[in-house]
């Protein structure tokens, strides 16, 4: 659990894309951030008030979150200066970088001296159990993709927002470092030891009120040979009541795998549903989310209408349209 | 890579079952062991010559392998005495215990003083790559189970033996600690970090001669919600050309999961084959191995004949009958 609110560290981001973690926090949990702090040369701006460490601390900030990718695989001296000053002022630090904060001697020393916590969200901080498969109360929905990086996290966050707006009880359950930094908690599933993957998802989505929905962030794809095991563990550990199929058209091949074609949505549906029903016989495929970012508005609308007719399920682009129609389906279950 | 030949340490095993790792080495790789060493009160005997550390060393033993489960989760003082004496004499140590040798200060000190290696085969010793899905030369066969612990390792070892007897080129590829100790190398898949599972299997089964078969030890089951992710990674990382379905009849429910019924062999076949064909479109289901240990001879023969007729595939119990009929099918591919 990372203490909120945050001050978002944008560092010397060379462009807006480098600050996508900070942007995600600003977009999805603006109440979690009091402001942003930038170094000389920073080309990113997530639209929050620029603050010094002191100002943000006075505004209540508890954790300095590294909301930017680093360059060259090192944490630079310019970054270190800010990070150490933050620890001296009583901040915790949180990071999803491959370079772990805990591997930096000066940060460890400062955290010990001043009592701040170093959160490296890329690695697990708890010992997860082995999954026991026992049916849990409450409801769960999971987005499964034809490929990796087709918009599963975005779909889940948009769905959470739409459900809250409708007055439904829902919780976004992060399974990757960006989602964990956005919400302050979660399981970094890709870094969990094989035997404990499904158990970590049971741990993440415990018993809940009957009408409460856990919206579980998807990872990988059953059709992506590098990561399909991670996806499988999510499907069985998550015991989803509802599945949303996520897709990005226009891809020449599976991400990073030339020669591997994307499956049709029908193939994904017919593959994932029997597997999901092993853990939850009542599981249904309830909708489709499509990432149409490479299409114009008319083309996107046409594509979504075609998919909706073909699959007999609501098909939306949550970025263009929001996820209200998906939330409506879940409300009816 | 663990150096052979071994001296097998049976400790103070309370019964024969406790020494099943040593028995596995004796049964499947007798050429890897020069003898056994037992402490007072040992109730196990794998049928090798009893030797002192000195005698085995003189007979060429390079590694003392802990071939027995320990009691109470500790490595006892009586064991330590032998293990440290072995290190002093120039042995390496190898263990698949949950308690790691590397966590025992006195063993670490002795290994540093005398230069011996401590092999904890339960944890990975290399950094595996992320799977790239590139088609590899050579052939691969994988046993997939309706459940965990239905005899997949036994099937693979028996198949390897049958294929070698026929003069075929084959290599048993261990993916669990017992298999690793039997053969001296492999991947402890259940302890690999999620993102690298499939990559570890690609690493384990590299390019090979066109007519060479890797016989990959299976793990878990697609239908076992605790471990299905591990199985999925084996199916995609292994790129099997051939699958063998493994089953144990008479189980009331999935291992450790009351309320979860075992799937029918037909369900397993229809689930696993499309998934395997994502990584290898030429993959086929070629046979069935059944663990009939709870059946009498007539009942077992009847069951196997029924399964064979129903599935249209050779069905054997490798323990009762050997795996020659499965090897014949592979020879024809």
Integer Cα distance of B313 and A247 in angstroms: 38
Closest approach of A133 to chain B, Cα-based (Å): 6
Q: Which residue has the tokens 């019924």?
A: B261
Integer Cα distance of A124 and A115 in angstroms: 21
Tokens representing B236 are: 């995609």
CB pairs under 8 A between A and B: 127
Confirm or reject contact between B16 and chain A (CB < 8 A): no
Confirm or reject contact between A223 and chain B (CB < 8 A): yes
Instruction: Give residue-wise pLDDT tens across range A284-306.
Output: 999 999 999 999 999 999 999 99
**Scanning every residue of chain B, which has its alpha carbon at the shortest distance from the alpha carbon of A129?**
B226
Q: Do B229 and A225 touch (CB under 8 A)?
A: no
Q: CB-hemisphere CA count at 13 Å for B253?
A: 8
Q: Average pLDDT, stretch B199-227? A: 98
Confidence class for position B232, pLDDT limits 50, 70, 90: very high
Confirm or reject contact between B236 and chain A (CB < 8 A): yes
In chain B, what's the furthest Cα-to-Cα distance? 62
Of the partner residues A191, A198, A254, the one whose CB lies closest to the CB of residue B226: A198
Instruction: Give residue-wise pLDDT tens across range B253-276.
Output: 999 999 999 999 999 999 999 999
Q: Average pLDDT, stretch A113-140? A: 96
Residues of A in contact with B230 (CB under 8 A): 194-195, 197, 229
Confirm or reject contact between A328 and chain B (CB < 8 A): no
ipTM surpassing 0.90: yes
Residues of B in contact with A260 (CB under 8 A): 133, 278
Instruction: Give residue-wise pLDDT tens across range B155-207.
Output: 999 999 999 999 999 999 999 999 999 999 999 999 999 999 999 999 999 99
Residue B70 has pLDDT above 90, yes or no: no
Most B-contacting residue of A191, A192, A194, A230 (CB-CB within 10 A), to test interface: A194
In SS3 terms, chain A reads as: CCCCCEEEEEECCCCCHHHHHHHHHHHHCHHHEEEEEECCCCCCCCCCCECCHHHHHHCCCCEEEECCCCCCCCCCHHHHHHHHHHHHCCCEEEECCCCCHHHCHHHHHHHHHHCCCEEECCCCCCCCCCCCCCCCCCEEEEEEECCCCCCHHHHHHHHHHHHHHCCCCEEEECCCHHHHHHHCCCCCHHHCEHHHHHHHHHHHCCCCCCCCEEEECCCCCCCCCCCHHHHHHHHHHHCCCEEEEEECCCCCCECCECCCCCCCHHHHHHHHHHHHHHHCCCCEEEEEEECCCCCCHHHHHHHHHHHHHHHCCCEECHHHHCCHHHHHHHHCC
**Scanning every residue of chain A, which has its alpha carbon at the shortest distance from the alpha carbon of B235?**
A225
Q: Check if the beta carbon of residue A98 is closer than 8 Å to that of residue A122.
A: yes
Interface of B with A in 168-197 (CB under 8 A): 189-195, 197
Name the strands in the sheet holding B63-66, side by side, starting at the edge strand that comes first in the sequence. B33-38, B6-11, B63-66, B92-95, B118-120
Least confident of A38-42, A72-76, A260-264, B8-12: A72-76
For residue B145, the surrounding DSSP H or E stretch is: strand B139-145
Confidence class for position A73, pLDDT limits 50, 70, 90: confident
Tokens representing B157 are: 């070892």
Instruction: Give residue-wise pLDDT tens across range A275-284.
Output: 999 999 999 9
Most B-contacting residue of A123, A197, A226, A268 (CB-CB within 10 A), to test interface: A226
Q: Check if the beta carbon of residue A268 is closer than 8 Å to that of residue A144.
A: yes
Q: Check if the beta carbon of residue A192 is closer than 8 Å to that of residue B197.
A: no
E runs forming strands in B273-329: 284-290, 315-316
Residues of A in contact with B199 (CB under 8 A): 226
- What pTM was computed for the model? 0.95
Of the partner residues A130, A223, A229, the one whose CB lies closest to the CB of residue B198: A229
pLDDT at residue A17, as a whole number:
92
Q: Do B233 and A278 touch (CB under 8 A)?
A: no
pLDDT at residue A145, as a whole number:
98
- What are the C-alpha distances in Å from A143 to residues A162, A220, A257, B127? 15, 10, 21, 30
Q: Do A198 and B225 touch (CB under 8 A)?
A: yes
């Amino acid at each position: 659990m990372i203490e909120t609110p945050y001050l978002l560290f944008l560092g010397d981001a060379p462009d807006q894309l480098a600050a996508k973690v900070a942007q995600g926090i600003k977009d999805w949990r603006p109440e979690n951030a009091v402001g942003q702090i930038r170094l000389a040369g920073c080309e990113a701006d997530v639209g929050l008030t620029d603050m010094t460490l002191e100002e943000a601390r006075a505004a209540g900030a508890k954790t300095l979150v590294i909301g930017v990718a680093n360059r060259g695989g090192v944490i630079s001296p310019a970054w270190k200066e800010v990070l150490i000053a933050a620890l001296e002022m009583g901040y915790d630090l949180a990071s999803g970088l491959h370079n772990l904060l805990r591997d930096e001697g000066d940060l460890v020393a400062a955290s010990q001296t001043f009592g701040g916590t170093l959160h490296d969200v890329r690695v697990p901080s708890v010992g997860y159990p082995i999954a026991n498969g026992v049916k849990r109360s409450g409801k769960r929905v999971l987005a499964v993709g034809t490929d990796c990086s087709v918009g599963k996290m975005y779909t889940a966050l948009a769905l959470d927002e739409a459900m809250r707006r409708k007055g439904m009880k829902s919780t976004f359950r992060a399974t990757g470092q960006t989602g964990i930094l956005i919400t302050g908690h979660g399981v970094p599933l890709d870094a969990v030891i094989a035997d404990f993957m499904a158990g970590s998802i049971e741990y993440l989505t415990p018993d809940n009120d009957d009408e409460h929905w856990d919206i579980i962030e998807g990872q990988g794809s059953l059709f992506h040979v590098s990561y399909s095991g991670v996806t499988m563990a999510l499907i069985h550990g998550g015991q989803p009541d509802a599945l949303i199929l996520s897709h990005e058209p226009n891809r020449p091949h599976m991400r990073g795998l030339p020669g591997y074609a994307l499956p049709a949505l029908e193939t994904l549906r017919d593959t994932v549903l029997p597997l999901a029903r092993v853990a939850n016989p009542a599981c249904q495929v309830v909708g489709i989310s499509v990432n149409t970012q490479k299409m114009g508005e008319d083309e996107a609308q046409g594509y979504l209408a075609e998919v909706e007719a073909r699959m007999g399920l609501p098909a939306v682009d949550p970025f263009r349209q929001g996820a209200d129609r998906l939330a409506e389906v879940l409300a009816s279950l």
